[in-house]
């Protein structure tokens, strides 16, 4: 989409000024860093150790093949958890106050098959700026033509069934990322409204680290494991189905549920509300009081806090959420929240069904 989107000046948003002041005051009063604390570094060690350990156990060849299958699925899930808990914060610059440390941990994204540079553009710049704006936020474009989640989306008769086939499509997200998405996004002229112009080093990084991933997860296992090509293929697909479904569900439950909006700019590209207010209407939390969700999902179940404060490490979201919710209600803004993972899943299912039914009517 060529139209440039503009938000009203942030200086005119009393809500954003108030909530930033209150959150800053919270960290100052408690003498806390907005970056990782000891608990966060403990999580980092846990997920990286789990990811590395499972991979090494698999390629050791010491276990029977029937055990390798569930381990492949577990490795896929740990790949997603490393992305959620470690790389996501690092690429946002919220894991550490040291840019070199963030870059080091962001590099790990390559080892789960994704390019950190491309992600920083598609997610940090485009998604966080133009959240849920059709034609601009490419993070919500799961399968254009097949999945319809906004009035502006292309209509296809098959979408009447999208609430059933969307979930199998989500399981392909990781495979798409590894073999297609990063290349497509990198060589697009624009991502949303962002004009692509890459440093030469990033061309090398894209192909070199993709090749490294293919070697570690395709070539090396085939060389060292006593498995046939079709047995390897089943394990590789299972790894990515587990990783893709984990990633796909978590991202969708944060933006495509009942109550979230998909606002469009006017004919001049102007949005009606300021950026912070826009975030409150396009983002949702889920399972916010579930300790397991908080531990495994890297704060992505608290997307409202993350979108307002992407430079704050997710380990603090639970504490600042009280401030965010209170301030939102004070300014008569929605604080969209599904109490559990299952209720969020149901809400996403009903949202898919709604837009699918509307496509049929149209």
How confident is the model over 51-68, as pLDDT tens digits? 999 999 999 989 998 999
Q: How many residues does the chain have?
A: 362
How confident is the model over 170-225, as pLDDT tens digits? 999 999 999 999 999 999 888 777 778 899 999 999 999 999 999 999 999 999 99
Q: Is the pLDDT of residue 291 over 50?
A: yes
- CA–CA distances in Å: residue 190 to residues 114, 116, 180, 265: 19, 17, 17, 19
Task: Label residue 303 left, alpha or beta by phi (over 0 means left) and psi (-120 to 50 means alpha).
Answer: alpha
- Is 323 inside a domain boundary? yes
Number of domains in the chain: 1
Q: Is the pLDDT of residue 140 over 80?
A: no
Owning domain of residue 285 = 10-361
Position 362 scores a pLDDT of: 56
Mean pLDDT over the full length of the chain:
92
Question: What is the greatest pairwise CA distance in the chain?
Answer: 64
User: pLDDT-derived band of residue 12, with 50, 70 and 90 as boundaries?
Assistant: low
Phi then psi for residue 35, to 5 deg, are -100, -165
**Distance between CA atoms of 352 and 149, rounded to whole angstroms?**
7
Position 1 scores a pLDDT of: 46
Least confident segment among 11-20, 38-47, 62-71, 322-331:
11-20
- What mean pLDDT is predicted for residues 20-33? 96
DSSP string across 272-286: SS-HHHHHHHH--EE
CB atoms within 10 A of CB 70: 12
Position 259 scores a pLDDT of: 94
% of the chain with per-residue pLDDT over 70: 97
Residue 327, Cβ density class (10 Å: 0-12 exposed, 13-18 middle, ≥19 buried): buried
Helix axes 162-170, 229-255, angle to 10 degrees: 120
**For the whole model, what pTM was predicted?**
0.92
Least confident segment among 90-94, 155-159, 313-317:
155-159
- Is 50 inside a domain boundary? yes
């Amino acid at each position: 989409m060529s139209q440039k989107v503009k938000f009203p000046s942030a200086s005119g948003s009393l809500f954003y000024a108030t909530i930033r002041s209150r959150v800053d005051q919270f960290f100052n009063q408690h003498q806390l860093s907005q970056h990782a604390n000891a608990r966060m570094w403990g999580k980092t060690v846990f997920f990286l150790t789990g990811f590395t350990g499972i991979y090494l156990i698999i390629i050791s060849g010491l276990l029977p093949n029937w055990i390798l299958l569930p381990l492949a699925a577990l490795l896929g899930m740990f790949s997603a958890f490393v992305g959620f808990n470690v790389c996501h914060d690092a690429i946002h610059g919220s894991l550490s106050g040291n840019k070199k440390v963030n870059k080091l941990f962001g590099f790990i994204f390559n080892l789960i098959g994704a390019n950190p540079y491309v992600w920083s553009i598609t997610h940090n710049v485009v998604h966080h700026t133009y959240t849920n704006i059709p034609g601009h936020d490419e993070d919500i474009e799961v399968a254009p033509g097949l999945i319809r989640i906004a009035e502006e989306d292309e209509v296809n008769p098959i979408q009447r069934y999208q609430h059933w086939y969307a979930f199998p499509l989500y399981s392909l997200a990781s495979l798409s990322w590894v073999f297609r998405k990063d290349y497509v996004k990198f060589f697009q002229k624009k991502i949303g409204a962002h004009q692509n112009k890459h440093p030469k080093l990033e061309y090398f990084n894209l192909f070199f680290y993709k090749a490294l991933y293919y070697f570690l997860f395709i070539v090396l296992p085939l060389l060292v494991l006593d498995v046939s090509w079709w047995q390897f293929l089943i394990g590789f697909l299972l790894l990515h189905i587990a990783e893709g479904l984990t990633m796909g569900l978590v991202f969708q439950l944060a933006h495509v549920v009942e109550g979230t909006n998909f606002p469009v700019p006017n004919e001049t590209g102007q949005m009606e509300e300021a950026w912070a207010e826009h975030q409150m209407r396009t983002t949702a939390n889920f399972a916010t009081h579930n300790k397991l969700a908080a531990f495994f999902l890297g704060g992505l179940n608290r997307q409202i806090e993350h979108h307002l404060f992407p430079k704050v490490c997710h380990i603090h979201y639970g504490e600042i959420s009280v401030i965010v919710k209170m301030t939102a209600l004070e300014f008569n803004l929605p604080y969209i929240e599904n109490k559990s993972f299952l209720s969020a899943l149901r809400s996403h299912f009903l949202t898919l069904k709604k837009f699918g039914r509307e496509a049929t009517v149209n």
